[in-house]
């Protein structure tokens, strides 16, 4: 195995790790009990999986064709910035539209604060 094959192997290995992490987070999205824990699994580990696979593709294209793809770098930065924001927004909408939590929840600290705000207004 010479040097350029080693570099290709690093890129393909990162892509494979990203695939495994995506499947793990998909298991999380069918096994967790309510929407909040499901979004916890979906936003964090799926973002990690897609970032790993995009970095792997970037390294692979860089090493094989000697081409630094600016579009791929922009895609990595954009996914990294927007995925947590969209997860936050959809969970905020789920809480405000009163989606039920699981029965295992012990404490809901946000509910008291929101009730106090509606009393004031």
Partner 1 sequence: MIEMMLTTALVLFALAIAIALYRIISGPSIPDRVVAMDMIVVNLISGIAVVSVLLKTKAFLEVILILGILAFISTIALSKFIERGVIIERKRDG
Under the binding rule (CB under 8 A), the answer on residue 68 touching partner 1 is no
Distances (CA, A) of 20 to 11, 28, 61, 90, 114: 15, 13, 21, 25, 40
118 contacts partner 1 (rule: CB under 8 A): no
Query: Is residue 117 part of the contact set for partner 1 (CB under 8 A)?
Result: no
The two three-digit tokens of residue 12, written as one number? 């393909």
Binding of residue 6 to partner 1 (CB under 8 A): no
Residue 32 DSSP label: S
Residue 40 dihedral angles phi and psi, to the nearest 5° = -60, -45
Among the candidate windows 38-46, 104-112, 113-121, which touches partner 1 by CB under 8 A? 38-46
Determine if 20 is a binding residue for partner 1 (CB under 8 A): yes
CA dihedral 8, 13, 14, 20 (to 10 degrees): 150
15 in Cβ contact with 56 (< 8 Å): yes
Residue of 47, 43, 56 lying closest to 16 (CA atoms): 56
Kindly state whether residue 7 participates in binding partner 1, applying the rule CB under 8 A.
no
Count of residues for the chain?
121
Residue placing its CB nearer to partner 1 in the complex, 20 or 112:
20
Residues at the contact surface with partner 1, assessed by CB under 8 A:
5, 8-9, 11-13, 15-16, 18-20, 22-23, 25-27, 29-30, 35, 38-39, 42-43, 46-47, 49-50, 53-54, 56-57, 60-61, 64-65, 67, 69, 71-72, 74-75, 78-79, 82-83, 85-87, 89-94, 96-97, 99
């Amino acid at each position: 195995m010479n040097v350029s094959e080693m570099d290709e192997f690093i890129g393909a290995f990162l892509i494979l790790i990203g695939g495994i992490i995506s499947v793990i987070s998909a298991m999380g999205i069918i096994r967790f009990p309510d929407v909040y824990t499901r979004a916890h699994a979906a936003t964090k580990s799926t973002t990690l999986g897609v970032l790993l696979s995009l970095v792997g593709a970037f390294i692979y294209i860089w090493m094989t064709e000697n081409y630094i793809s600016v579009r791929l770098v922009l895609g990595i930065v954009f996914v990294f910035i927007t995925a947590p924001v969209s997860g936050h927004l959809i969970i905020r909408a789920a809480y405000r539209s009163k989606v039920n939590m699981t029965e295992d929840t012990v404490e809901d600290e946000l509910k008291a604060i929101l009730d106090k705000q509606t009393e004031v207004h």
